[in-house]
Amino acid sequence: MRTLVARLDSDGDVLLAGPAVRAAAAAGEVVLLCGPAGVRAAELLPGVSRIVEWECPWIVNPAPDVRPFDIEAVTALVHGIRADVALILTSFHQSPLPLALMLRLAGVPKIVARSIDYPGSLLDVRLTGDPDVPEAERALEVARAAGFDLPEGDDGRLRVVDPPATPLDHPYVVVHPGASAPARTWSPDRWAKAVVALTAAGHRVVVTGGPAEAGLTGHVAGACGSDLGGRTSLLELAGVLAGAGAVVVGNTGPAHLAAAVGTPVVSLFAPVVPAVRWAPYGRHVLLGDQEAPCRGTRARECPVTGHPCLDQVDPADVVAAVAEVMT
């Protein structure tokens, strides 16, 4: 049995597909079709035999042009995979049907997805409901509808391959201030004040971030924190997170990576997307006004002056939440 699993957006989304991938892998080979922003996470998922990268024009932001050559090329590539079944994993605001059409043209004999729209002959198994459940469970439901399930002893939590041990001295708390969407994280000065407050409370603080976030992590670390911005691969970051007593982070991929390595999370969570679906899938404390005016907008930039849903959170609240999750 060869299963094509498609999750075409970011690292965090791909990590949340992990339980569904493991369910499919229990029955055979899994080929993961993902976007360029999800490849690093795909490389960490247990059960993935092969990764196919594609910049999907109806998922990637900013979107590339729709070019017939690209569509034909990826259709031919999928045809060559000769999958027995495909699982299309999407968020609640994404349609699986454009990809289902391509997979049908590529000759995939069985396609399973969740769709609120009439799929005609594009889907063989269609889940019609859209339950307010964690995204990892929502994806696993698609795998189960295809006839797959987790092997005995698999608790369905997020997992990654074993990360390398970090050389950092323990104990420490990780602060990860960046996010691809500014609306989904705290303001830089607030993060910097939290590092000072955590240090004053007796914690050693390590600040992490990607290569493009080095300026941000340097500002946030200041004179109190250790700045690792741009100095770790995603696998190395997993090791740093695994060694932490807690991780303080916005709604972004490393929150899910922390959950995957079993580290409790303090989540600065803006309600632009629902926390019931996107909060870290593990032990966590949620900070932020979940009833704020930006609720449900899916905004990338905060639509409310002053970013009140998160900037009303005091650094002392973070210190208290870290103490709670580390107890």
Mean pLDDT to the nearest integer, 277-281: 96
Query: Could you tell me if 129 and 177 lie in one domain?
Result: no
For the chain, the domain total comes to 2
Query: Could you tell me if 243 and 188 lie in one domain?
Result: yes
Asked if residue 207 belongs to a domain, the reply is yes
Asked if residue 165 belongs to a domain, the reply is no
**3-class SS shares of the chain: helix, strand, coil, % to 5:** 35, 15, 50
Q: Is the predicted pLDDT of residue 129 greater than 90, yes or no? A: no
Whole-angstrom Cα distance, residue 211 to residue 228? 10
87, 30 in Cβ contact below 8 A? no
Token pair recorded at residue 206:
């390590």
Query: Could you tell me if 196 and 244 lie in one domain?
Result: yes
Nearest to 90, CA basis, from 3, 147, 9: 9
- What's the confidence (pLDDT) of residue 89? 98
Mean pLDDT to the nearest integer, 76-97: 96
Asked if residue 87 belongs to a domain, the reply is yes
Q: Is the predicted pLDDT of residue 295 greater than 90, yes or no? A: yes
Nearest to 277, CA basis, from 126, 90, 116: 90
Q: In terms of C-beta distances under 8 Å and separation of at least 24 residues, what long-range contacts does 317-320 make, across chains too?
A: 317/287, 318/194, 318/197, 318/198, 318/248, 318/266, 318/268, 318/287, 319/194, 319/197, 319/198, 319/201
Query: Could you tell me if 95 and 189 lie in one domain?
Result: no
Query: Could you tell me if 122 and 194 lie in one domain?
Result: no
Domain boundary among the residues 130, 145, 160 is at: 145
Asked if residue 151 belongs to a domain, the reply is no
Mean pLDDT to the nearest integer, 155-184: 94
Q: Is the predicted pLDDT of residue 41 greater than 90, yes or no? A: yes
Asked if residue 69 belongs to a domain, the reply is yes
CATH number for the domain spanning 254: value is 3.40.50.2000
- What's the confidence (pLDDT) of residue 131? 86
Query: Could you tell me if 141 and 177 lie in one domain?
Result: no
Mean pLDDT to the nearest integer, 241-270: 97
- Give the domain range for residue 194: 173-326
State what percent of residues in the chain have pLDDT above 70.
100
Longest dimension (CA), the chain: 61
Whole-angstrom Cα distance, residue 277 to residue 271? 11
Query: Could you tell me if 188 and 97 lie in one domain?
Result: no
Query: Could you tell me if 210 and 129 lie in one domain?
Result: no
- What's the confidence (pLDDT) of residue 228? 97
Whole-angstrom Cα distance, residue 54 to residue 17? 17
69 vs 267 pLDDT, higher one: 267
pLDDT digits (tens, 9 = 90+) for 203-240: 999 999 999 999 999 999 999 999 999 999 999 999 99
Query: Could you tell me if 209 and 104 lie in one domain?
Result: no
Mean pLDDT to the nearest integer, 284-293: 96
Strands (E) in the chain, as ranges, are: 2-7, 29-34, 50-53, 85-88, 111-114, 125-127, 173-176, 205-207, 226-227, 246-250, 265-268, 284-287
Q: Tokens 């999907």 appear where? A: 56
Query: Could you tell me if 129 and 209 lie in one domain?
Result: no
Query: Could you tell me if 177 and 141 lie in one domain?
Result: no
- What's the confidence (pLDDT) of residue 100? 98
Asked if residue 232 belongs to a domain, the reply is yes
For the chain, the average pLDDT equals: 96
pTM: 0.96
pLDDT band at 130; cut points 50, 70, 90: confident
Asked if residue 152 belongs to a domain, the reply is no
Backbone angles phi, psi at 125, to 5 degrees: -130, 125
- What's the confidence (pLDDT) of residue 312? 93
Asked if residue 85 belongs to a domain, the reply is yes
Query: Could you tell me if 71 and 203 lie in one domain?
Result: no
